[in-house]
Amino acid sequence: MLYKHEWMKGFAASLFSGLWLFTASPAVAEDTYQMRIQAAVPSGAMSFEMLERFGDRVESMSNGRLSVRVLAAGAVVPSSRILESVDSGLLEAGFAWPQFWAGKHPATALFSNSPVWPRSGLDELSHLAWMYEGGGEEIYEELLQEVIGVDVVSFFVTPSGWQPLGWFNEPIENMEQFRQIKYRSPPGLVGQIFQEAGVTTVFLPGPEVLPAAERGVIDAAEWINPVEDLPFGFHQVFDNYYLASVHQFIDIGEIIVNQQFWESLPADLQEMVRTAARATIIDTFVADIARNADAIRTLKTEHGINVRPTPPDIHAELMAAAGRVLEKNSGDNPFFKRVVESQEAFAGKTKESWGEILKIYGDLSED
């Protein structure tokens, strides 16, 4: 090739050299990361399935740059030690519900199953709206990182919604009968509400509930919801199942991630985790609605379980007890009070619109 000017010859040589380097040089390998999430549930739980969906979604979006491995309860540490283990870096991430950390601070339960929402005539969507639009996320981050002092970040993923009052040996018709039996309830804020209402409560971890029922240590128990309770085998011990209760009107699980691991991720991978967490919330919502309906039908038709609505006076007395518990905890703990006031303010703002919609829906569904 002839070049009219010497500078053109140099330019061409540089261009061809650059093209050769571009086509001949191997692509620079991108960094890859692995995040292990130890769950507080066994591998058969629906929430475990949702965590696996979360992991699959992250791996797909990142083209394998961030792989996620979900571990069942107890795989590395006891469920009660998940928060400490993520904080220390022993685990990159963990899954449980905020009330699991109630021993660190009583206000943690308010971010998962606050009685503010049923008292205000609202629901779990209202709770999420408060988290994302009403400052809840920021308050929870402050609670974890500054008040409790753990080096973690949190992403809500699995809203399991209303929870049944639970499983009973014998039918009950009112609160007075409920007070005469021994009942397995969750610990923390929910347990305080039952105790305040005069219920004799026994706190037991999941694996101990059925053996305790068989031995007569308890007469009744709540766990999660129909789709989670069915594979657990409660129907093999109890005959009566009472549905939706106000004691846990909402129950939202979270993935907590070690802060240093989180900060080691590039910004695009962080955004993929955030997006996958939001998508998992939708997955859980729709699966809960469909699968709980199927599970209730299975319990009734295949196992002969007496599925009943919770007696109305139990709702009323539990809500009255919840008000007293909220007042007491708010008086004892300024941060607890701050969370309750934030939720109540948001409920007051949204009840006129969203609360009215829920009320009308409830009125129509009675027809």
Query: Which of the four pLDDT bands, split at 50, 70 and 90, describes residue 363?
Result: low
pLDDT of residue 20 exceeding 60, the answer is no
pLDDT per position as a tens digit, 119-156: 898 999 999 999 999 999 999 999 999 999 999 999 99
- What six digits make up the tokens of 343? 């939720």
Contact status, residue 114 vs residue 188, Cβ threshold 8 Å: no
Instruction: Please name the CATH architecture into which domain 33-104+150-160+250-289 falls.
Output: 3-Layer(aba) Sandwich (3.40)
Q: Is the pLDDT of residue 283 over 60?
A: yes
Q: CATH topology of 33-104+150-160+250-289 equal to that of 163-249+306-332?
A: yes
Beta-carbon contacts of residue 27 (< 8 Å; ≥ 6 apart) = none
Question: 168: closest CA among 98, 228, 104, 218?
Answer: 218
Residue of 112, 94, 97, 92 lying closest to 35 (CA atoms): 92
Domain extent listing, the chain: 33-104+150-160+250-289, 163-249+306-332
Average predicted confidence (pLDDT) for the chain? 90
The reported pLDDT for the residue numbered 366 is 55
Instruction: Point out the least confidently predicted range of 113-117, 159-163, 305-309.
Output: 159-163
Q: Is the dihedral of CA 262, 266, 267, 270 positive or negative?
A: negative
Q: Note if the pTM is more than 0.75.
A: yes
Would you say 251 and 164 are in contact if contact means Cβ atoms under 8 Å apart? no
For 328, the enclosing helix (H) or strand (E) is helix 312-332
Q: Write out pLDDT tens, residues 75-105.
A: 999 998 999 999 999 999 999 999 899 999 9
- pLDDT higher than 60, residue 18: no
Query: What is the rounded distance in angstroms from the CA atom of residue 178 to the CA atom of residue 315?
Result: 12
Q: Where is pLDDT greater, at 361 or 65? A: 65
The CATH number fitting domain 163-249+306-332, selected from 3.40.30.10, 3.40.190.10, 3.40.50.970, 3.40.640.10: 3.40.190.10
